[in-house]
Amino acid sequence: MSFERVAPEQHDTLDGIPEPAENPLLVAHGAEANRLAATYRGGKMHHALILSGPRGIGKATFAFHLAHHLLKYPDRATAPDRLAVPEPGSALHRMIASGAHPGVLYLARPMNEKTKAFRTAVTVEEIRRVNRFLSMTSHDGGYRIVIIDPADDMNTNAANALLKNLEEPPSRTLFILISHAAGGLLPTIRSRCQTVRLHGLLPEDLSRVLASFGTAVPDAAALAARAGGSVREAILLTEYGGLEIAGALETIVEAGRFDPAAAGKLADAVAGRDQAIPFALFNAHLLDRVGAKATAAALAGDLGRAEALSALWQETSRTIAETETYNLDKRQHVLGLVRRIQGVLARAA
């Protein structure tokens, strides 16, 4: 899909891929979308929704499509019972996408103006913007919509600040909390929201979305399975070397003997300058591999092996966090982790 980017860049922006705010294509989730459209028309829209499901399946796109629907049809009685599709050239769509619409507040990880890097959490300062936003008169008497993407990224102070807004929301206000793991949200927040559970895309839906971005998919079923039905994960696998990284990593850690040359080649591929996404993919695949081994051992009744692998997962997770927090040498990080995990897996085999 050819598009002119109008949405502000976010912490997880991918080159050539539309931001959720500017994406007119919502694939799958039709039943849930139309159920909410009918609920709105019937005057029974809840004041706060949690859109829950795996990362990269279109939850944020869903949120912006719902916001577009409510703003396009401020009179619910005249609204259709199917969610409206945004028109990319329309003023409404462009205002929402660019962050200029006075009826939509989109909160995500903010930029650190000193370091010019995105923060690792949605901060309490961001949530305090909600009070200012809600204190203003609503645009044309329509809805005011607050989207938090993802709510999982809120720190404790931010979550507590949001809770106060959820307890006594103004009329014609909708909070949409996007969550990759709703169980991690405060129970008091979950109790004040209606949860809408969304699921990973089927192979044909995944192919349709990727085709709209100009990405060819030779084996949609295999890719969907590997990506867990996630469009974002599929893009990372196909466009950012994820499949090659996973394959190289698996070959090294499953070998009976550590191969320094292969490990060095992998480290060069993922730990160089401007390799932030491949580096993140390496870390994610490493954790997934160890986690899968631990789960398999537990299901097989080998509790000793399962416990050892679970401890390895925790150790690996801490190492990754420390490398990112303190900006440690990425190449040494890769080599050290690969050697450590290959050795543990070889001994535990």
CA distance 22 to 99: 10
Question: Quick one: 140 and 280 in the same domain?
Answer: no
Q: Which of 140, 165, 197 is the last residue of a domain?
A: 197
Q: Which of 197, 217, 250 is the last residue of a domain?
A: 197
123-145 b/e (C-beta count within 10 Å ≥ 16 → b): bbebbeebeebeeeebeeebbbb
Question: Quick one: 25 and 136 in the same domain?
Answer: yes
Say if residues 270 and 279 touch (Cβ distance below 8 Å). yes
Question: Quick one: 129 and 189 in the same domain?
Answer: yes
Residue type, 114: K
- Does residue 224 sit within a domain? no
- Does residue 245 sit within a domain? yes
Say if residues 181 and 202 touch (Cβ distance below 8 Å). no
Q: Between 226 and 86, name the one with better pLDDT.
A: 86
Domain that holds residue 89: 20-197
What pLDDT was estimated at residue 284?
A: 87
Question: Quick one: 156 and 268 in the same domain?
Answer: no
Instruction: Provide the whole-model pTM.
Output: 0.83
What pLDDT was estimated at residue 1?
A: 44
- Only one residue has tokens 């996630």, namely 230
What pLDDT was estimated at residue 230?
A: 94
- Does residue 231 sit within a domain? no
Q: pLDDT tens across 234-256, in order?
A: 999 888 889 899 999 999 999 98
Question: Quick one: 167 and 246 in the same domain?
Answer: no
Q: How many residues does the chain have?
A: 349
- Does residue 7 sit within a domain? no
CA distance 13 to 291: 27
Our count of domains for the chain comes to 2
Q: Which of 169, 197, 225 is the last residue of a domain?
A: 197
Question: Quick one: 162 and 297 in the same domain?
Answer: no
- Does residue 223 sit within a domain? no
Question: Quick one: 51 and 148 in the same domain?
Answer: yes
| Strand-pair category, 48-52 with 104-107 | unpaired
Question: Quick one: 188 and 304 in the same domain?
Answer: no
Q: How many CA atoms lie within 13 A of 29 on its CB side?
A: 30
Q: pLDDT tens across 135-169, in order?
A: 987 767 789 999 999 999 999 999 999 999 999 88
- Closest Cα to residue 177, out of 258, 108, 102? 108
Residues near 49 by beta carbon (within 8 Å), at least 6 away in sequence = 36, 174, 175, 176, 177, 193, 194, 195, 196
What pLDDT was estimated at residue 349?
A: 62
Q: pLDDT tens across 282-297, in order?
A: 998 899 889 889 889 9
What pLDDT was estimated at residue 3?
A: 60
Q: Which of 113-122, 190-199, 203-212 has the least mean pLDDT?
A: 113-122
Question: Quick one: 79 and 174 in the same domain?
Answer: yes
Say if residues 144 and 47 touch (Cβ distance below 8 Å). no
Cis omega before residue 150 (within 30°)?
yes
Question: Quick one: 181 and 45 in the same domain?
Answer: yes
Say if residues 50 and 195 touch (Cβ distance below 8 Å). yes
Q: pLDDT tens across 27-51, in order?
A: 999 999 999 999 999 999 999 999 9
